[in-house]
Structure 1
Amino acid sequence: MSRAGARGQTSSSRLRGRACVKQREFVFREHGGARANTGRKRAASRKGYERHRERPPLDARTPVHVILRAKSGVPNFRDEDIFRAIRRHIEESSGDDFRVIHFSVQETHIHLIVEATNQVLLSRGVQHLARRITWDVNRLRRHSGSLWRDRYTRRDLTNLRQVRNALVYVLMNARKHQCDEKEAFLASISLDPCSSAAWLDGWHPSAAWMLLALQLDLLRRDLHECPVAAPRTWALREGWKHYGLIHDDEAPSNRLSTRSQTSRSGHASVRARPLTGTRRAIDAGPSSDVTRGG
């Protein structure tokens, strides 16, 4: 046998030997691998903050509930001069692609119900509004630096029940934050002047006297001009009313949800319908996931 033939036979033998070897499965035993509750833990000081994840896409027909939370130690947003500045910037922020439909200004945070063409224009609109508010608050209080605790909270209102619950949660939010008995009582028999409650088209007739008192107060303070935009989405304009007009004694519940509950009139409501579905044949009585009686 020639030297070249012996070399070829040796190579083929090696290949056959290698083909017989099986790759064993590598099993993670103590370190590495995808497991529950692994990775860097969130700092205790960051609990309750918004996670820095990519925002989901937004449909132009879907209203959004936005919350801007301030850092600790900032001035009270409900002070007269600061509230007027915030109200003015809310009014100026609305345009064709981003509109503030309702708002509520609390001591340390701001609630907004907005409409936007898409997710990018929503982010730009909220960031522009937050930036303008920061400039004015720092100017009024001779302060500098950031005003907001973290990125804004976004909650898409994907069905009619969520829209109604968000309206109650935003416009009646002052009733949730009153700790003193006297302040809680006064909040329960009035509508919040630091909100857009005076421009909601959907109050129950039982709230007529509260609405009149609020309008007279705003007229006395020269704040009677409407600072919010008219809704363009059907959900904010008419759709949410299929679950009942808002009564004068409603208050925010601890958690907004879409569960079916028994309405004030005693009729069980159907499960919430998505906004992308049909608008006809909505068989639902007045119902909401909010507590009655403040």
Structure 2
Amino acid sequence: MARKPKMGTQAELDLPERNWGGARKGAGRKPKGPRPLGDRPAVPHLRRGEIERRHPVHVTVRMMPEVWNLRTHRAWNVLSRALLAARETGARLTHYSVQGNHLHLILEVESRQNLGRAMRSISIRIARGLNQLMRRQGRVVADRYHTAVLRTPTQVRNAIRYVLSNTRKHLLERGEELEPVTMDRYAAGPADHVPRTMRLAGSDRPLLEPRTWLLQVGWRRGAA
């Protein structure tokens, strides 16, 4: 029986030393496409924290620059259907404010997963509806939605004031003269939550009455 040839000793290759540690410039997950909102930083692609059902959530959703003004009757028809359909996911919309290129929502959800399902439903319906309205195809929602979990009475009170007074805030930023009371036809929330400086005429059809203690009672105990 023939012997197998004897294998020679493998030569050692002169390879550069590995250096796989620490932060590197340009490393990490890249954002989806160019930042559509100028210098505004993207919402980071990090795992969102857990949410308890007793904590409401303030959500901000921004649109691409080429999307039409949301504060119109025809755009609101699309938005209202999307917000109403979020009930099917188990989420409860209690407050909203529609601005020209973004939405503010306050939601009660069961968990982080529940919030994800609700926002997917809302975003997909808004994208389909607005694209159909504008007779175009392409991206509608500019970035990941931003969330702020409201855990204290003060946080809830501030979020309610911020959302329901958002139109007044943007008027001030533009340097426009304000009346003592600002009318907003594209915002709504529980009547006792509305700031004195605002008169809201938005539809309450997509809204549900708050169930959490923080939105029912606790917000009144927040610092003024």
Question: Is the structural similarity TM-score above 0.5?
Answer: yes
1:91 deviation in Å?
A: 2.4
Query: Where do residues 1-294 of structure 1 align in structure 2 (5 Å cutoff)?
Result: 33-34=21-22, 38-40=24-26, 46=35, 48-95=41-88, 97-178=90-171, 179-182=173-176, 184-186=177-179, 189-197=181-189, 199-203=190-194, 211=199, 214-215=200-201, 223=203, 226-243=205-222, 287=224
Per residue, is there more helix in 1 or in 2? 1
Query: Residue 93 and residue 33 in structure 1: after superposition, are their counterparts in 2 closer, same or farther (change >3 A)?
Result: closer
Tell whether the 8 Å contact from 2:61 to 2:144 is kept in structure 1 after alignment.
yes
- Tell me which of the two structures has the higher relative contact order, counting C-alpha pairs closer than 8 angstroms and 6 or more residues apart: 2
1:180 deviation in Å?
A: 4.6
TM-score, normalised with respect to structure 2: 0.78
Tell whether the 8 Å contact from 2:93 to 2:106 is kept in structure 1 after alignment.
yes
User: What is the letter of the counterpart of residue 33 of structure 1?
Assistant: G
User: What is the letter of the counterpart of residue 239 of structure 1?
Assistant: G
1:102 deviation in Å?
A: 0.5
1:147 deviation in Å?
A: 0.3
Query: Residue 80 and residue 96 in structure 1: after superposition, are their counterparts in 2 closer, same or farther (change >3 A)?
Result: closer
1:192 deviation in Å?
A: 1.8
Secondary structure at the aligned position of 1:126 is classed as helix
Q: How many percent of aligned residue pairs carry the same amino acid? A: 30
Unaligned 5+ runs, structure 1: 1-30, 244-285, 288-294
1-structure distance, mates of 2:99, 2:217? 27
Secondary structure at the aligned position of 1:155 is classed as strand
RMSD of Structure 2 on Structure 1 (CA): 2.7
TM-score, normalised with respect to structure 1: 0.61
Unaligned 5+ runs, structure 2: 1-18
2-structure distance, mates of 1:105, 1:68? 10
1-structure distance, mates of 2:192, 2:128? 32
Q: What whole-Å deviation, never above 9, does each CA across 1:250-292 have from its counterpart, x for those lacking one? A: xxxxxxxxxxxxxxxxxxxxxxxxxxxxxxxxxxxx51xxxxx
1:137 deviation in Å?
A: 1.0
Tell whether the 8 Å contact from 2:168 to 2:182 is kept in structure 1 after alignment.
no
Q: What whole-Å deviation, never above 9, does each CA across 1:49-78 have from its counterpart, x for those lacking one? A: 111111111111111011111111110000
1:139 deviation in Å?
A: 1.3
1-structure distance, mates of 2:20, 2:192? 57
Secondary structure at the aligned position of 2:178 is classed as helix
Number of corresponding residues: 200
1:96 deviation in Å?
A: 7.0
Query: Residue 102 and residue 176 in structure 1: after superposition, are their counterparts in 2 closer, same or farther (change >3 A)?
Result: same
